[in-house]
Amino acid sequence: MTVTSALAALRDAVAARDRFTAANQDPSDWSHYDESVTDLTEQIAAAATTFLDEIGAHP
């Protein structure tokens, strides 16, 4: 499989969220943690949409 720029962005967004959650197993500020995870998840969703558009699979 060829890694396109959109697929690489999706991979990187998932990796960023994984690194963040691994580094914050017991956060002292849950509201900041939740906000950060939400932001990272939104980045994943945007990257996934871009990838689906790129391969012509997005409705």
- pTM, two decimals, is 0.85
Contact predicate 58/52, CB 8 Å: yes
Q: Closest Cα partner for 21 from 58, 54, 13?
A: 13
**Alpha-carbon gap, residue 19 to 57, rounded angstroms:** 28
Give the model confidence (pLDDT) of 1-59 as tens digits: 678 899 999 999 999 999 999 999 998 999 999 999 999 999 999 999 999 999 999 66
**What confidence score (pLDDT) does residue 59 get?**
66
**Alpha-carbon gap, residue 16 to 55, rounded angstroms:** 23
Give the model confidence (pLDDT) of 46-59 as tens digits: 999 999 999 999 66
Which domain range does residue 26 map to? Answer: 5-55
Query: Which ranges of the chain would DSSP assign to H, the alpha helix?
Result: 5-23, 30-55
Total number of domains in the chain: 1
